[in-house]
Structure 1
């Protein structure tokens, strides 16, 4: 007999495209058991319910955590159907940023406190995953196909949360598809050319709708930005003005 946590972790690996043989070796269960679990999984229990479908639809209780997780989801998140109305939310986080992985897992756990959050190791990254029947309630942007091939627009209640917690939203987007780097150039100082370094933020995404959500929020926060000219389909937003970088450093900071 295996506990529900082992079953869900194994099914998460299979859902990511792993072979039954490799999952069997990693988890230590037979392939026959895995095949059985694929066709039969116990319903997930949650005493916390869902603020979006318990009577009158409401907002998630911890709106700050939600704003951050929404940014992560729009950047590196994926919502997939499993079985019997159960969905799993998966956010890919690079191994290079263990603090980001912890922050993602914490935000996910805060929103679904009665559902276990898993960290599934993949090459170069961890997939932070949690099962719930209610993830589509939290992320109505879910739909068929890749995000950049369909319209991404916030519901009114989501926009209200982003307006109330804009820095959490920006932080989630930067932690997913953005970065803080140190650029350098040279300039003449007293007749001598010297190296000059300065911090800069970038955010890159292929969805013009997600880019617009990012830049509209920056505008409301008074952060100056510009887009870079590049040949690839993705759009890159640059934040390089000293005052704007200082704002970003105060509220977002580098990945860690």
Structure 2
């Protein structure tokens, strides 16, 4: 009987598109064992993609992928019922294919279920089906996020506290942007234009603004509210810090 961590690793690699042979070589097990695990057979019980959950069942949470996906979900995601399971959907703009690929890869790492894309007008929904998505995103609930309280539960707070950069990146990749700000100033009677980069985060939920602000504070990044719905990061050092792990959408 192989250790559970070997089985978990095999399932994660398979969810990322690895072949049975490649998974077996990476985990140091036989191809037959990988096939049995993939089909949900284990000597001490069943484990398959449908039952795999790092919160309520077996499995180890891929924390860095999770915090990024959490940020995307709070900005542009939702969960909806699908028979006995649930869809997790993240809406991605078609002008940012790189962001779409990151979202797709993060979903596959967090839960070993199929990830697919549905084309919409001007955007694409990256989707995955599992009954366990509400376990991973307890912020799920009826109505728009800005109409209800949004807070992290204790286990999420611990994980985001260990990986604040990924969480901030996910939020800014969802409802944020990096722009070049232009201002005009009159010097010695002449108008001069100055340009500088700036980050904005636009969301209707004060709670989600508060979460972003909390982890920007943890990272030592200065920010302010431009208005009720827009958070701004404009200080040169703070923008430079964000550029090291966020940068423009691609």
Distance 1:72 1:47 in 2: 23
Q: Secondary structure, in 3 states, of the residue corresponding to 2:244?
A: helix
Q: Say yes or no: does 1:88 pair with 2:91.
A: no
Within the candidate set 175, 178, 182, 2:176 is matched to: 178
Q: Secondary structure, in 3 states, of the residue corresponding to 2:89?
A: strand
Distance 2:103 2:197 in 1: 25
Tell me how far 1:193 sits from its aligned partner: 3.0
Tell me how far 1:53 sits from its aligned partner: 1.0
Distance 2:52 2:91 in 1: 26
Within the candidate set 226, 229, 235, 1:228 is matched to: 226
Q: Which structure 2 segments of 5+ residues have no match? A: 1-47
In structure 2, the residue matched to 1:126 is: 124
Distance 2:186 2:239 in 1: 24
Distance 1:150 1:195 in 2: 43
Number of positions where the alignment pairs a residue of Structure 1 with one of Structure 2: 203
8 Å contact kept, 1:48–1:112:
no
Q: Secondary structure, in 3 states, of the residue corresponding to 1:227?
A: strand
Tell me how far 1:194 sits from its aligned partner: 2.4
Q: Which structure 1 segments of 5+ residues have no match? A: 1-44
Distance 2:222 2:50 in 1: 44
In structure 2, the residue matched to 1:111 is: 110
Task: Kindly report which structure 2 residues correspond to 1:138-217, keeping only aligned pairs within 5 A, or say none.
Answer: 138-188=136-186, 192-217=190-215
Distance 1:194 1:144 in 2: 50
Task: Kindly report which structure 2 residues correspond to 1:3-22, keeping only aligned pairs within 5 A, or say none.
Answer: none
Q: Secondary structure, in 3 states, of the residue corresponding to 2:217?
A: helix
Within the candidate set 50, 54, 57, 1:51 is matched to: 54
Tell me how far 1:202 sits from its aligned partner: 0.2
Distance 1:108 1:52 in 2: 15
In structure 2, the residue matched to 1:242 is: 236
Distance 1:220 1:188 in 2: 37
Distance 1:253 1:155 in 2: 28
Q: What RMSD over aligned residues (CA atoms) do the two structures have, in Å?
A: 1.6
Distance 1:189 1:251 in 2: 36
1:94-117 CA-to-partner distances (Å, cap 9, x unmatched) read: 00100000000000011112x110
1:144-167 CA-to-partner distances (Å, cap 9, x unmatched) read: 111111111101110111100101
Structure 1 residues 48 and 87: CA distance shift in structure 2, 3 A: closer
Q: Secondary structure, in 3 states, of the residue corresponding to 1:137?
A: helix
8 Å contact kept, 1:201–1:245:
yes
Distance 1:128 1:64 in 2: 19
In structure 1, the residue matched to 2:29 is: none
8 Å contact kept, 2:78–2:88:
yes
Tell me how far 1:54 sits from its aligned partner: 1.5
Q: Secondary structure, in 3 states, of the residue corresponding to 1:223?
A: coil
Q: Secondary structure, in 3 states, of the residue corresponding to 1:228?
A: strand
In structure 1, the residue matched to 2:65 is: 65
